[in-house]
Chain A
Protein backbone atom coordinates (compact mmCIF):
# COMPACT_ATOMS: atom_id res chain seq x y z
CA UNK A 1 0.00 0.00 0.00
CA UNK A 2 1.35 3.43 -0.96
CA UNK A 3 1.41 6.49 1.26
CA UNK A 4 1.82 9.82 -0.53
CA UNK A 5 2.93 12.95 1.27
CA UNK A 6 5.05 16.05 0.75
CA UNK A 7 8.60 15.83 2.04
CA UNK A 8 10.70 18.97 2.22
CA UNK A 9 8.49 20.57 -0.42
CA UNK A 10 8.56 17.68 -2.87
CA UNK A 11 6.18 14.77 -3.49
CA UNK A 12 7.19 11.59 -1.67
CA UNK A 13 5.81 8.07 -1.67
CA UNK A 14 6.32 5.10 0.61
CA UNK A 15 5.20 1.70 -0.56
CA UNK A 16 5.07 -0.64 2.40
CA UNK A 17 3.38 -1.30 5.72
CA UNK A 18 1.32 1.80 6.57
CA UNK A 19 2.18 1.27 10.25
CA UNK A 20 5.89 1.81 9.57
CA UNK A 21 7.11 4.71 11.71
CA UNK A 22 7.87 7.85 9.71
CA UNK A 23 11.39 7.83 11.18
CA UNK A 24 12.09 4.43 9.61
CA UNK A 25 10.78 5.70 6.27
CA UNK A 26 12.95 8.82 6.38
CA UNK A 27 16.16 7.10 7.40
CA UNK A 28 15.94 3.62 5.87
CA UNK A 29 13.92 4.20 2.71
CA UNK A 30 14.49 7.83 1.76
CA UNK A 31 18.09 8.16 3.00
CA UNK A 32 17.43 11.26 5.06
CA UNK A 33 19.58 10.38 8.05
CA UNK A 34 19.71 13.84 9.63
CA UNK A 35 16.71 12.89 11.76
CA UNK A 36 18.04 10.66 14.52
CA UNK A 37 16.83 7.53 16.27
CA UNK A 38 17.28 8.05 20.00
CA UNK A 39 14.77 6.05 22.01
CA UNK A 40 11.99 5.01 19.64
CA UNK A 41 9.32 5.69 22.29
CA UNK A 42 8.85 9.49 22.15
CA UNK A 43 10.98 10.11 25.21
CA UNK A 44 14.04 11.91 23.84
CA UNK A 45 13.04 14.15 20.91
CA UNK A 46 15.97 13.22 18.65
CA UNK A 47 13.53 12.25 15.89
CA UNK A 48 11.64 15.56 15.83
CA UNK A 49 10.38 16.71 12.43
CA UNK A 50 7.69 19.19 11.44
CA UNK A 51 4.30 17.85 10.42
CA UNK A 52 2.30 20.58 8.73
CA UNK A 53 4.67 23.01 10.43
CA UNK A 54 4.31 21.66 13.96
CA UNK A 55 6.85 19.72 16.01
CA UNK A 56 6.23 15.98 15.80
CA UNK A 57 8.12 12.89 17.02
CA UNK A 58 8.58 10.78 13.92
CA UNK A 59 9.36 7.56 15.85
CA UNK A 60 5.73 7.27 17.02
CA UNK A 61 4.15 8.53 13.80
CA UNK A 62 2.84 5.74 11.57
CA UNK A 63 3.55 6.80 8.00
CA UNK A 64 -0.13 6.33 7.12
CA UNK A 65 -0.99 9.27 9.40
CA UNK A 66 1.08 11.69 7.30
CA UNK A 67 -0.74 10.91 4.04
CA UNK A 68 -1.48 14.16 2.23
CA UNK A 69 0.48 16.19 4.79
CA UNK A 70 3.70 18.19 4.71
CA UNK A 71 6.71 16.66 6.45
CA UNK A 72 9.83 18.78 6.95
CA UNK A 73 13.13 17.38 8.17
CA UNK A 74 16.40 19.00 9.25
CA UNK A 75 17.60 18.63 5.64
CA UNK A 76 14.76 20.73 4.26
CA UNK A 77 13.73 23.21 6.92
CA UNK A 78 13.80 26.80 5.67
CA UNK A 79 12.49 30.25 6.57
CA UNK A 80 13.53 33.13 8.79
CA UNK A 81 13.24 31.14 12.04
CA UNK A 82 15.36 28.33 10.61
CA UNK A 83 18.01 30.80 9.47
CA UNK A 84 18.05 32.59 12.82
CA UNK A 85 18.33 29.32 14.76
CA UNK A 86 21.13 28.08 12.51
CA UNK A 87 23.08 31.31 12.98
CA UNK A 88 22.56 31.33 16.74
CA UNK A 89 23.54 27.66 17.04
CA UNK A 90 26.80 28.39 15.25
CA UNK A 91 27.53 31.56 17.20
CA UNK A 92 26.94 29.94 20.59
CA UNK A 93 28.58 26.70 19.43
CA UNK A 94 25.75 24.73 20.95
CA UNK A 95 26.51 21.08 20.09
CA UNK A 96 28.86 18.85 21.99
CA UNK A 97 28.51 15.31 20.65
CA UNK A 98 25.74 16.53 18.36
CA UNK A 99 23.53 13.47 18.24
CA UNK A 100 20.42 15.15 19.61
CA UNK A 101 20.95 18.45 17.85
CA UNK A 102 18.80 18.01 14.76
CA UNK A 103 15.87 17.32 17.07
CA UNK A 104 16.80 20.28 19.26
CA UNK A 105 17.03 22.57 16.22
CA UNK A 106 13.69 21.42 14.81
CA UNK A 107 11.98 21.91 18.17
CA UNK A 108 13.55 25.36 18.57
CA UNK A 109 12.34 26.43 15.13
CA UNK A 110 8.88 25.07 15.88
CA UNK A 111 8.83 27.03 19.14
CA UNK A 112 9.88 30.34 17.56
CA UNK A 113 7.19 30.02 14.91
CA UNK A 114 4.46 30.01 17.55
CA UNK A 115 6.24 32.01 20.28
CA UNK A 116 8.55 34.62 18.71
CA UNK A 117 9.76 36.04 22.06
CA UNK A 118 9.88 33.07 24.41
CA UNK A 119 10.73 33.48 28.09
CA UNK A 120 13.05 31.08 29.91
CA UNK A 121 9.94 29.22 31.08
CA UNK A 122 8.54 29.04 27.54
CA UNK A 123 11.82 27.56 26.33
CA UNK A 124 12.01 25.08 29.19
CA UNK A 125 8.42 23.98 28.57
CA UNK A 126 8.84 23.66 24.81
CA UNK A 127 12.20 21.88 24.96
CA UNK A 128 11.33 19.57 27.87
CA UNK A 129 10.91 16.67 25.46
CA UNK A 130 14.35 17.04 23.88
CA UNK A 131 17.01 15.28 25.89
CA UNK A 132 20.72 16.10 25.57
CA UNK A 133 23.06 13.68 27.30
CA UNK A 134 25.90 16.20 26.99
CA UNK A 135 23.69 18.65 28.92
CA UNK A 136 24.00 21.53 26.47
CA UNK A 137 20.73 22.93 27.80
CA UNK A 138 22.15 26.29 28.89
CA UNK A 139 23.60 26.92 25.42
CA UNK A 140 20.39 25.74 23.77
CA UNK A 141 18.39 28.23 25.81
CA UNK A 142 20.85 31.02 25.06
CA UNK A 143 20.80 30.26 21.33
CA UNK A 144 17.00 30.33 21.25
CA UNK A 145 16.99 33.72 22.99
CA UNK A 146 19.62 34.98 20.54
CA UNK A 147 17.62 33.71 17.56
CA UNK A 148 14.52 35.46 18.91
CA UNK A 149 16.44 38.73 19.27
CA UNK A 150 17.80 38.38 15.74
CA UNK A 151 14.29 37.85 14.40
CA UNK A 152 13.14 41.04 16.15
CA UNK A 153 15.92 43.08 14.67
Chain B
Protein backbone atom coordinates (compact mmCIF):
# COMPACT_ATOMS: atom_id res chain seq x y z
CA UNK B 1 0.00 0.00 0.00
CA UNK B 2 2.78 2.39 0.97
CA UNK B 3 4.78 1.45 -2.12
CA UNK B 4 1.75 2.06 -4.32
CA UNK B 5 1.23 5.47 -2.73
CA UNK B 6 4.88 6.33 -3.29
CA UNK B 7 4.60 5.38 -6.96
CA UNK B 8 1.49 7.56 -7.33
CA UNK B 9 3.23 10.50 -5.65
CA UNK B 10 6.27 10.06 -7.89
CA UNK B 11 4.06 9.94 -10.96
CA UNK B 12 2.31 13.11 -9.85
CA UNK B 13 5.65 14.85 -9.38
CA UNK B 14 6.89 13.77 -12.80
CA UNK B 15 3.73 14.76 -14.61
CA UNK B 16 2.50 17.86 -12.83
CA UNK B 17 -1.16 18.65 -13.50
CA UNK B 18 -1.87 20.62 -16.62
CA UNK B 19 0.70 19.34 -19.11
CA UNK B 20 0.47 15.96 -20.83
CA UNK B 21 3.63 13.92 -21.35
CA UNK B 22 4.85 13.12 -24.86
CA UNK B 23 3.61 9.55 -24.45
CA UNK B 24 0.01 10.82 -24.34
CA UNK B 25 0.27 11.63 -28.07
CA UNK B 26 1.67 8.27 -29.19
CA UNK B 27 -1.77 7.10 -30.19
CA UNK B 28 -2.08 9.72 -32.95
CA UNK B 29 -0.88 7.80 -35.99
CA UNK B 30 -0.60 10.68 -38.45
CA UNK B 31 2.69 12.52 -37.71
CA UNK B 32 1.33 15.87 -38.87
CA UNK B 33 -1.74 15.61 -36.67
CA UNK B 34 0.45 14.41 -33.79
CA UNK B 35 2.79 17.37 -34.30
CA UNK B 36 -0.08 19.86 -34.23
CA UNK B 37 -1.52 18.23 -31.12
CA UNK B 38 1.84 18.39 -29.35
CA UNK B 39 2.22 22.08 -30.20
CA UNK B 40 -1.27 22.74 -28.89
CA UNK B 41 -0.12 21.16 -25.63
CA UNK B 42 2.98 23.39 -25.66
CA UNK B 43 0.56 26.28 -26.10
CA UNK B 44 -0.59 25.79 -22.50
CA UNK B 45 2.86 27.04 -21.51
CA UNK B 46 3.37 29.55 -24.31
CA UNK B 47 0.08 31.31 -23.62
CA UNK B 48 0.40 31.10 -19.84
CA UNK B 49 0.66 34.52 -18.14
CA UNK B 50 4.18 33.68 -16.88
CA UNK B 51 5.32 33.54 -20.50
CA UNK B 52 3.05 35.75 -22.60
CA UNK B 53 3.17 38.73 -20.22
CA UNK B 54 6.72 39.46 -21.40
CA UNK B 55 5.92 38.73 -25.07
CA UNK B 56 3.62 41.79 -25.41
CA UNK B 57 2.25 43.29 -28.60
CA UNK B 58 3.45 46.73 -27.48
CA UNK B 59 6.64 48.06 -25.93
CA UNK B 60 5.23 47.62 -22.44
CA UNK B 61 5.06 44.34 -20.53
CA UNK B 62 1.97 43.00 -18.83
CA UNK B 63 1.71 41.39 -15.43
CA UNK B 64 -0.55 39.29 -13.25
CA UNK B 65 -2.82 36.39 -14.03
CA UNK B 66 -5.08 38.74 -16.03
CA UNK B 67 -2.27 40.28 -18.09
CA UNK B 68 -2.91 43.86 -16.99
CA UNK B 69 -0.39 46.56 -17.93
CA UNK B 70 2.82 46.49 -15.88
CA UNK B 71 3.04 49.05 -13.11
CA UNK B 72 5.09 51.20 -13.14
CA UNK B 73 4.58 52.00 -16.82
CA UNK B 74 7.96 50.76 -17.99
CA UNK B 75 9.12 50.50 -21.62
CA UNK B 76 11.34 47.98 -23.37
CA UNK B 77 14.25 50.24 -24.35
CA UNK B 78 16.65 49.43 -27.15
CA UNK B 79 17.46 45.85 -26.15
CA UNK B 80 14.49 44.72 -24.07
CA UNK B 81 16.20 45.49 -20.76
CA UNK B 82 14.21 48.67 -20.15
CA UNK B 83 14.58 52.39 -20.81
CA UNK B 84 17.82 54.20 -19.94
CA UNK B 85 17.44 55.16 -16.29
CA UNK B 86 14.58 52.73 -15.67
CA UNK B 87 16.07 49.42 -16.68
CA UNK B 88 14.28 46.23 -15.63
CA UNK B 89 17.13 45.71 -13.15
CA UNK B 90 16.05 48.82 -11.22
CA UNK B 91 13.48 46.53 -9.54
CA UNK B 92 14.08 43.00 -10.86
CA UNK B 93 17.17 41.55 -9.22
CA UNK B 94 18.96 38.29 -9.91
CA UNK B 95 16.27 36.25 -8.10
CA UNK B 96 12.71 36.50 -6.84
CA UNK B 97 12.36 38.73 -3.77
CA UNK B 98 9.50 38.30 -1.31
CA UNK B 99 7.78 41.59 -0.50
CA UNK B 100 8.02 42.61 3.14
CA UNK B 101 4.30 43.40 3.31
CA UNK B 102 3.44 39.80 2.53
CA UNK B 103 1.53 40.53 -0.68
CA UNK B 104 3.74 38.49 -2.99
CA UNK B 105 7.10 38.91 -4.62
CA UNK B 106 9.07 40.83 -7.21
CA UNK B 107 10.17 38.36 -9.86
CA UNK B 108 13.85 38.17 -10.65
CA UNK B 109 16.46 36.61 -12.91
CA UNK B 110 19.98 37.78 -13.87
CA UNK B 111 18.77 38.55 -17.41
CA UNK B 112 15.25 39.83 -16.73
CA UNK B 113 13.98 41.44 -19.95
CA UNK B 114 11.25 41.57 -22.56
CA UNK B 115 11.15 39.27 -25.57
CA UNK B 116 12.00 41.08 -28.81
CA UNK B 117 9.23 42.77 -30.81
CA UNK B 118 9.51 40.08 -33.48
CA UNK B 119 8.45 37.54 -30.86
CA UNK B 120 5.30 39.34 -29.71
CA UNK B 121 2.69 36.69 -28.84
CA UNK B 122 -0.02 38.75 -27.18
CA UNK B 123 -3.18 38.78 -29.30
CA UNK B 124 -1.90 36.17 -31.76
CA UNK B 125 -3.45 32.78 -32.47
CA UNK B 126 -1.48 29.68 -31.50
CA UNK B 127 -0.88 28.97 -35.19
CA UNK B 128 0.57 32.43 -35.71
CA UNK B 129 2.81 31.99 -32.67
CA UNK B 130 3.93 28.58 -33.96
CA UNK B 131 4.93 29.98 -37.34
CA UNK B 132 6.71 32.86 -35.62
CA UNK B 133 8.69 30.49 -33.39
CA UNK B 134 9.67 28.41 -36.43
CA UNK B 135 10.87 31.40 -38.44
CA UNK B 136 14.58 32.25 -37.95
CA UNK B 137 13.91 35.73 -39.34
CA UNK B 138 11.72 36.41 -36.32
CA UNK B 139 13.03 34.05 -33.64
CA UNK B 140 16.50 35.52 -33.35
CA UNK B 141 18.07 33.27 -35.98
CA UNK B 142 17.42 30.07 -34.05
CA UNK B 143 17.26 26.67 -35.69
CA UNK B 144 14.60 24.26 -34.46
CA UNK B 145 17.33 22.43 -32.53
CA UNK B 146 18.20 25.66 -30.74
CA UNK B 147 14.54 26.31 -30.03
CA UNK B 148 14.42 22.91 -28.32
CA UNK B 149 17.52 23.80 -26.29
CA UNK B 150 16.05 27.18 -25.41
CA UNK B 151 12.76 25.75 -24.22
CA UNK B 152 14.41 22.96 -22.23
CA UNK B 153 17.31 24.80 -20.62
CA UNK B 154 17.09 28.62 -20.83
CA UNK B 155 17.06 30.09 -17.34
CA UNK B 156 14.58 32.86 -18.09
CA UNK B 157 12.19 30.34 -19.66
CA UNK B 158 12.69 28.19 -16.58
CA UNK B 159 11.62 31.05 -14.31
CA UNK B 160 8.04 30.33 -15.47
CA UNK B 161 8.05 27.26 -13.20
CA UNK B 162 9.64 29.10 -10.30
CA UNK B 163 7.86 32.46 -10.33
CA UNK B 164 7.91 33.23 -6.61
CA UNK B 165 5.09 33.69 -4.08
CA UNK B 166 1.87 35.23 -5.35
CA UNK B 167 2.21 33.96 -8.90
CA UNK B 168 0.95 30.73 -10.49
CA UNK B 169 3.66 28.72 -12.24
CA UNK B 170 3.34 27.56 -15.83
CA UNK B 171 1.81 24.07 -16.11
CA UNK B 172 4.01 20.99 -15.93
CA UNK B 173 7.76 21.41 -15.76
CA UNK B 174 10.47 22.85 -17.99
CA UNK B 175 11.71 19.31 -18.60
CA UNK B 176 8.25 18.32 -19.87
CA UNK B 177 8.08 21.46 -22.01
CA UNK B 178 11.48 20.63 -23.48
CA UNK B 179 10.42 17.04 -24.17
CA UNK B 180 7.23 18.24 -25.89
CA UNK B 181 9.29 20.66 -27.99
CA UNK B 182 11.63 17.86 -29.11
CA UNK B 183 8.66 15.64 -29.92
CA UNK B 184 7.01 18.45 -31.88
CA UNK B 185 10.16 18.91 -33.94
CA UNK B 186 10.62 15.14 -34.43
CA UNK B 187 7.07 14.87 -35.75
CA UNK B 188 7.61 17.57 -38.35
CA UNK B 189 7.21 20.85 -36.42
CA UNK B 190 3.72 21.35 -37.82
CA UNK B 191 1.65 24.34 -36.77
CA UNK B 192 -2.05 24.63 -35.94
CA UNK B 193 -4.10 26.28 -38.66
Contacts and interface: CB of A to CB of B under 8 A. Distances in A.
B91 A60 contact: yes
B74 interface: yes
A115 interface: yes
Contacts of A48: 90
A107 B72 CA distance: 14
B80 to A, nearest CB: 14
A126 B85 CA distance: 5
Q: Chain B interface secondary structure, helix, strand, loop or mixed?
A: loop
Interface in B27-74: 71-74
Q: How large is the interface on B (under 10, 10 to 19, 20 to 34, 35 or more residues)?
A: 20 to 34
Contacts of A43: 71-72
A42 B106 CA distance: 8
Interface residues of A, number: 30
A125 B89 contact: no
B101 A41 contact: yes
Q: Chain A interface secondary structure, helix, strand, loop or mixed?
A: mixed
Contacts of A41: 99, 101, 103, 106
B85 A107 contact: yes
A149 B27 CA distance: 70
Given A21-B100, A129-B72, A55 B93 contact: no
Interface in A42-95: 42-43, 45, 48, 54-57, 59-62, 65
Contacts of A150: none
B10 interface: no
Chain A CB count within 10 A is highest, among B77, B83, B101, for B83
Contact of A40 (B77, B83, B99): B99
Nearest to B74: A128
Contact of B84 (A19, A65, A126): A126
A126 B73 CA distance: 10
A145 to B, nearest CB: 14
Contacts of B122: none
Nearest to B82: A125
A111 interface: yes
A41 B102 CA distance: 10
Interface string B122-134: 0000000000000
B7 interface: no
B60 to A, nearest CB: 10
Given A60-B106, A114-B84, A55 B101 contact: no
Closest 9 pairs (CB-CB, A-B): A126-B85, A111-B85, A125-B83, A129-B72, A42-B91, A115-B84, A114-B84, A128-B73, A60-B106
Given A107-B85, A126-B85, 7 more contacts: A21-B100, A41-B103, A114-B84, A126-B83, A127-B85, A127-B86, A128-B72
